[in-house]
Amino acid sequence: MKKTTARLADGRELIYYDSRDDAARDTVDRRPAAPATTAAEIRYDPLRDEWILIASHRQGRTHNPPTAECPLCPSREGHSEITADDYEVVVFENRFPSMAGRDGDDEAPALIADLRTPGGSWRSAPSAGRCEVVCFSPDHEASFADLSPEQVALILEAWTDRTAELSRRPDVEQVFLFEDRGKEMGMSLVHPHGQIYAYPFVTPRTERVLAAVGAYRERTGGNLFDDILAAESADGGRLVVEAEHWTAFVPHAAHWPYEVHLYPRRRVPDLTALDDDARAEFPAVYLDVLRRFDRLFGEDTGPVPYISSWSQAPLSAPGEFALHLELFTVRRTPAKLKHLAGSELLMDVFVNEISPESAAARLRELG
């Protein structure tokens, strides 16, 4: 893999990832310079004991532009963030970030420490962390499932590199990678892409998971992630794909109509710790799972909307956490969506209309 770093006209970083070592990239952005501006901060919710991102500048972000004005297509006409004629994989700082970075800021370590300390009702802090966009392909009409194993392998290398780089920043505590596909999932750009959120705190969901893992260790002496994976393999009723180095299954208490978790069989905290065998096998396994999703409801319904995300260990607690990918869709029939309502949105109690066992059986049929 070859990595070429450039700067956009407004100062944001852009990185090309190429499979060939001899790839040459023009790193000059010839658009007029207009410094990016953000209005972001972090506020504390004492009732939930969690931090909220306030980013009012995102009200004006790009939303479903015409194909000819796509900001993620290769272009030299000024409308695109990527000024090259072509690319393989590109990562760049989001123009409308939910978090504005503090890279190189001497106060960043103190800010991170402060975010870990419980405080009063009206606490707030300057924004920190970083938001990036990952372009998976120059093909505007493609989806991740259309990519080749070689393309997915390059994306995995880019994800791993960004995890390593962002984890070294003084204002980052946890690196989260995800893809939203479909307007039903909130996607505002059709071009195949994902995002990276490098948070300056441990996310609320991760805090709950870590608490459950710690309590399980105290109670049983075992690792909760390891034992869940072993139990799913032994039961078999919710398995979707079981390969040599990866296992994909529908969780016993799935929240969503069709939901799959994909784990490396050897527990590691994040993408940087995957061994070569797991890396080599991942593209085929992941593409298999995605293509099963796309066959769930037939071609007439169009692409299946989904969210796919990597859960990685926070930097302050890498020990017992297990890297894994979560994939789900809100579509439950060709014509019906799973809408979150009062119980899910306000009480965090999900109601799933499809049993995990029948969802797994359906996905196995589609292999």
Q: Which residues are catalytic?
A: 193
Q: Please state, as a whole number, how many other Cβ atoms lie within 10 Å of the Cβ of residue 36.
A: 16
Q: Read off φ and ψ for residue 309, nearest 5 degrees.
A: -150, 150
Q: How far is CA 37 from the centre of its chain?
A: 24
Signed CA dihedral, 114, 115, 118, 124: sign only:
positive
According to DSSP, the residues that pair with 6 across neighbouring strands are 14
CA triple 91-8-102, angle to 5 deg: 75
Q: What's the count of helices (H) and strands (E) in the chain, helices before strands?
A: 7, 16
Residues whose CB is less than 8 angstroms from the CB of residue 127 and which lie 6 or more positions away in sequence, other chains included: 38, 40, 41, 42, 53, 55, 99, 100, 102
In three-state secondary structure terms, 236 is coil
Name the nearest CA neighbour of 55 among 112, 94, 28, 91: 94
